[in-house]
Amino acid sequence: MSYCIATYRCFDGKADFHKKAQSIAVGLTVGSWTELPEAKKAEMEKHLGRVLSVDIHEPAAGGDSSASERYADIRIAYPDVNFSADIPALLVTVFGKLSMDGRIRLIDLHFSAAFMSRFPGPKFGLNGVRERLGVHDRPLLMSIFKSVIGHDLSGLREQFYGQAVGGVDLIKDDEILFENPLTPIGKRVETCMQAAEQAQRETGQKLLYAVNLTGPTSKLAANAKQAIEAGANALLFNVLAYGFDVLHELSADPDIRVPIAAHPALAGAIYPSPHYGIGASVLLGKLMRLAGADLVLFPSPYGSVVMPREENMAIQHALTTTELTVDYISRYDSDNATGRSGAATEQPAAGLKTSFPVPSAGIHPGLVPLILRDFGQDVVVNAGGGIHGHPMGTAAGGRAFRQAIQAASQSVKLADAAAQADNLELKTALELWGNRE
């Protein structure tokens, strides 16, 4: 017997949270329990959800507003036997109907080892992306096309080359660039990969181009293979517009032999409310990694599109922890459930590769030391305006970032690095955007 565990934060000024937890555990599994005859109970017990804990937060007297709201964190274990081993089935079970039942938020998910074993996870993962690029000793640098809609192949090629020659490791399509007559995916890949080769002859550096995978759901795998055929060495995918299961199927496809970068488009419709939705570390962390994203973009805490730093850190943890038994896998079995044993069962850690965290939006070179302080070396520094808006041009924008990354990786102060004669690009960037070191 194995169980997946959901943790909810449930807000209510007066509810009996223990009763509420029981009604969830029964209502979302066997439907009814107390009225069942004993013989039927024995037969149905393996399908019964279990309340693991109910932690009630009573508001402080005289406190004000949301900090003083009454809520409970409720953990429920759902028997694997109740649902098929796919993300839609798990989510519909634990948060399908329940999501509509008042002020309630799904804040964590633990998978059973058996459930998790059905997911290959990222095909390349953090280390596989590093291997593809041959870069192991520093954070990576990604840049984003600036304006792409309405531009033709020569415009894209020029922009691509400028980014590539500045020393970026990855270039991503704009997520709002769809199949279009000016820059259709096959031609776009060919043109951009030629620009990548040209730049590589100058920089000696490899580069991944994450081309935006779009189209009808049933054609995505074929479109991906066409792009790969044309030379694409990475994909960008708007996961939440299509569903986690689609990402899972793409990443598990043996013929899709390139890393997949998950874009968080539409995630803001789900994670930011304190009272509703799904926590960012579940939505953009655990589920993205389980479904097989090699890189995951999410709003950084540094710029204009803001996610709190602690949520960034929770996403990072979900994407990169190797202590899967603690963080991902439910250490809970039916013996615990029925009180026949006090000890958690040892379960093997499922071997999901880690995913590269990509905090995005509002990034400029002066933020690089902050990013490394928060994320360490295993992070992709991702910039759009912070590269294209450099006063000396796009290529200089890339070089400014690389200079900042080199300095911060070696614990050299950005101000000191900027004072060096060959780091003029960094000096210029710090003058424009400031130094948040």
Active site residue 97: yes
Nearest residue to 195 via CA among 228, 225, 156, 247: 156
What is the token pair recorded at 51?
């309340």
Nearer to a copy of itself, 133 or 153 (CB): 153
Nearer to a copy of itself, 19 or 97 (CB): 97
Tell me which stretch binds a copy of itself (CB under 8 A): 3-11, 217-225, 391-399, 429-437: 217-225
The answer to whether the beta carbons of residues 358 and 261 sit under 8 Å apart is: yes
**Selected binder of a copy of itself within 98, 109, 236, 370 (CB under 8 A):** 98
**Selected binder of a copy of itself within 16, 18, 19, 31 (CB under 8 A):** 31
Which residues ranging from 44 to 83 are in contact with a copy of itself (CB under 8 A)? 44, 46-47, 81-83
Which residues ranging from 167 to 206 are in contact with a copy of itself (CB under 8 A)? 174-176, 178-180
Which residues ranging from 342 to 381 are in contact with a copy of itself (CB under 8 A)? 361
The answer to whether the beta carbons of residues 210 and 233 sit under 8 Å apart is: no
**Selected binder of a copy of itself within 2, 7, 22, 93 (CB under 8 A):** 93
Q: Is 393 in the site for a copy of itself (CB under 8 A)?
A: no
What is the token pair recorded at 223?
């479109």
Classify 34 in phi/psi space as left (phi over 0), alpha (psi -120 to 50) or beta: alpha
DSSP for 310-369? Answer: HHHHHHHHHHH---HHHHTB---BHHHHTTS--SPPP-PPP-PPP-EEEEESS--GGGHH
The answer to whether the beta carbons of residues 312 and 374 sit under 8 Å apart is: yes
3-state class (DSSP) for residue 109: strand
Q: Is 32 in the site for a copy of itself (CB under 8 A)?
A: yes
Q: Is 288 in the site for a copy of itself (CB under 8 A)?
A: no
Nearer to a copy of itself, 241 or 419 (CB): 241
Q: Which of 19, 40, 41, 97 is catalytic?
A: 97
DSSP assignment letter at 58 = P
Classify 167 in phi/psi space as left (phi over 0), alpha (psi -120 to 50) or beta: left
Which residues ranging from 239 to 268 are in contact with a copy of itself (CB under 8 A)? 241-243, 245-246, 249, 263-268
Which residues ranging from 311 to 340 are in contact with a copy of itself (CB under 8 A)? none
CB of 274 to a copy of itself, least distance (A): 9
CB of 138 to a copy of itself, least distance (A): 28
Please give the positions annotated as active site.
97
